[in-house]
């Protein structure tokens, strides 16, 4: 039996007592946990010590690199196109990847977007796209490269071989109350993105009611940490700090978010979805050496839409097929006339989840037609009896709990009342 280089209890003591782990200790810890020598109970103690006491920049970098080294890496250096990617920390109505990837690809840039599924109140990009008949999330590396060369954009599931240590650690954090530890969030996201092999990365780090981290200062710290990790790994990285106090767009769900994304690609769509798509596209294209690209023109002249159709078709989908529609709907009317002054993101995300648009466990199915269609946004004038939003589901018994989640989540006031949005859509840009 081989002699282990360290004793995990000693390393737990170091972080418990606010000490600093060496590169060698971190490399051993992640390797030993991946191969099962370090038990879940021991790694749980370590993650709690990190949650409480934090990590230095060098420790976070070492943790990220160790998780990358636990599995495979991808290499797109042989492509004829420059690569650039985007990651969002997730929110309510956040469908930006769908219009963004083909928009950026329409400029001759490759976008290898490895995406995930939703859990809880935040939706998953793959769940949304699987609303499209025939579309496949799982494609092999060789086919991925072919599509990137031919079309320019791929949105697909990451293989299990990419940063497997992160997969184990992520599941553990979810059941030990350590999900919000910034060093662990940053290393989790960036280990996968760096292993993915993109040469540039733009991060959409959200704050507010419907965000992973509610507090803008915490979100700012996370953004800075991830930008530093990217730069340290040789990936051109920047971040936009964006507002998730109000749902993004008018659609919350799966199929309805695909419809809204197509509207944006056709040159329309809600102003906030369009604005964030354009801002992120400009940032991605600047990293790819195209700082003056006319992004708005590509939405208006059909180039982005053509790339969308080609991207969906390349993964087996029918971009012209009808999308699922709900069997049951329930319309909530405005109880009085006035101004919609508040619309909190988190309760609407929870309501959509309860309607069947999300899942409580990773293995749960989703209803592609379930979700919420908003008919007004904060600042809009409404009249008594006017539809405020429509709840969609295939199972009408879900309506009661969804409506319960929305109690106090929206408010109609009078002209002159403060509109509760939590600030501008894009709070700031964070670069190297």
Structure confidence at residue 358 as a pLDDT band (50, 70, 90): confident
CA dist., res. 100 & res. 117, Å (int): 18
CATH architecture for segment(s) 8-54: Up-down Bundle (1.20)
* pLDDT tens-digit map of 278-300: 999 999 999 999 999 999 999 99
By CB neighbour count within 10 A (0-12 exposed, 13-18 middle, 19+ buried), where does 289 fall? Answer: exposed
CA dist., res. 112 & res. 268, Å (int): 25
* pLDDT tens-digit map of 253-265: 999 999 999 999 9
So which residues are the catalytic ones?
Answer: 87, 166, 173, 188, 192
CA dist., res. 58 & res. 70, Å (int): 18
Name which residue leads in pLDDT, 363 or 66.
Answer: 66
Q: Across the beta sheet with 371-374, what order do the strands follow?
A: 251-253, 371-374, 387-393, 328-333
Residue 119: per-residue pLDDT: 61
The answer to whether 100 and 274 have CB atoms below 8 angstroms apart is no
Residue 378: per-residue pLDDT: 97
Residue 87: per-residue pLDDT: 95
In 90-215, which ranges are E strands?
111-115, 153-157, 200-207
Residue 362: per-residue pLDDT: 65
Q: State mean pLDDT over 29-36.
A: 95
From 3.40.1030.10, 3.40.109.10, 3.40.1080.10, 3.90.1150.10, which CATH number describes the 85-321 domain? 3.40.1030.10
Q: State mean pLDDT over 335-342.
A: 97
Domain 8-54 identical in fold to domain 328-413? no
- Model-level pTM? 0.94
Residue 288: per-residue pLDDT: 96
Residue 1, pLDDT above cutoff 70: no
CA dist., res. 430 & res. 112, Å (int): 22
Residue 360, pLDDT above cutoff 80: no
* Bridge partner list, 184: none
* pLDDT tens-digit map of 386-396: 999 999 999 99
CA dist., res. 390 & res. 313, Å (int): 31
CA dist., res. 304 & res. 102, Å (int): 6
Q: State mean pLDDT over 191-213.
A: 93
* pLDDT tens-digit map of 142-184: 999 999 999 999 999 887 788 889 888 888 887 888 888 999 9
Give the residue extent of every domain in the chain.
8-54, 85-321, 328-413
- Supply the mean pLDDT for the chain: 94
Topology given in CATH for the domain delimited by 328-413: Aldehyde Oxidoreductase; domain 3 (3.90.1170)
Distances (CA, A) of 64 to 57, 163, 169, 330: 11, 9, 12, 46
Residue 120, pLDDT above cutoff 70: no
Structure confidence at residue 364 as a pLDDT band (50, 70, 90): confident
CA dist., res. 48 & res. 214, Å (int): 20
End-to-end CA distance of the chain: 46
* Bridge partner list, 393: 328
Residue 121, pLDDT above cutoff 70: no
* pLDDT tens-digit map of 208-251: 999 989 999 999 999 999 999 999 999 999 999 999 999 999 99
**Around Cβ 319, how many Cβ atoms within 10 Å?**
17
Tokens, residue 97? 């990847």
């Amino acid at each position: 039996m081989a002699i282990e280089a360290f004793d995990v209890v000693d390393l737990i003591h170091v972080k418990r007592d606010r000490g600093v782990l060496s590169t060698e200790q971190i490399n051993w810890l992640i390797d030993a946990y991946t191969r099962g020598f370090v038990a879940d109970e021991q790694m749980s103690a370590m993650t709690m010590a990190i949650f409480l006491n934090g990590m230095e920049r060098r420790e976070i970098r070492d943790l990220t690199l160790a998780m990358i080294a636990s599995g495979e890496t991808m290499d797109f250096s042989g492509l004829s196109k420059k690569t650039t990617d985007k990651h969002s920390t997730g929110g309510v109505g956040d469908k930006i990847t769908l219009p963004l990837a083909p928009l950026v690809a329409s400029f001759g840039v490759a976008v290898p977007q490895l995406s995930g599924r939703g859990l809880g109140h935040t939706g998953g990009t793959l769940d949304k796209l699987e609303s499209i008949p025939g579309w496949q999330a799982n494609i092999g590396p060789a086919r991925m490269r072919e599509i990137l060369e031919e079309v320019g954009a791929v949105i697909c599931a990451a293989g299990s071989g990419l940063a497997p240590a992160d997969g184990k650690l992520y599941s553990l954090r979810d059941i030990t109350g350590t999900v919000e530890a910034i060093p662990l969030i940053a290393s989790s996201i960036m280990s996968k993105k760096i292993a993915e092999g993109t040469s540039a990365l733009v991060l959409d780090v959200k704050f507010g009611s419907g965000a992973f981290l509610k507090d803008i200062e915490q979100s700012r710290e996370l953004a800075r940490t991830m930008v530093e990790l990217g730069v340290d790994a040789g990936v051109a990285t920047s971040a936009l700090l964006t507002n998730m106090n109000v749902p993004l767009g008018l659609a919350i769900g799966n199929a309805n978010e695909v419809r809204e994304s197509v509207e944006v690609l056709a040159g329309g769509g809600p102003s906030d979805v369009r604005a964030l798509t354009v801002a992120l596209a400009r940032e991605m294209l600047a990293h790819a050496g195209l700082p003056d690209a006319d992004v708005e023109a590509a939405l208006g002249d059909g180039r982005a839409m053509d790339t969308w159709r080609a991207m969906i078709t390349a993964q087996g989908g029918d971009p012209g097929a009808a999308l699922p529609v709900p069997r049951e709907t329930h319309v909530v009317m405005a109880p009085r006339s006035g101004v919609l002054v508040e619309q909190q993101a988190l309760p609407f995300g929870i309501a959509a989840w309860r309607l069947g648009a999300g899942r409580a466990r990773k293995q749960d199915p989703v209803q592609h037609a379930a979700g919420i269609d908003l008919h007004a946004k904060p600042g809009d004038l409404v009249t008594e009896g006017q539809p405020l939003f429509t709840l969609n589901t295939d199972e009408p018994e879900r309506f009661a709990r969804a409506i319960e989640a929305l109690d106090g989540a929206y408010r109609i006031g009078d002209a002159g009342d403060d509109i509760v949005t939590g600030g501008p859509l894009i709070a700031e840009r964070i670069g190297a």
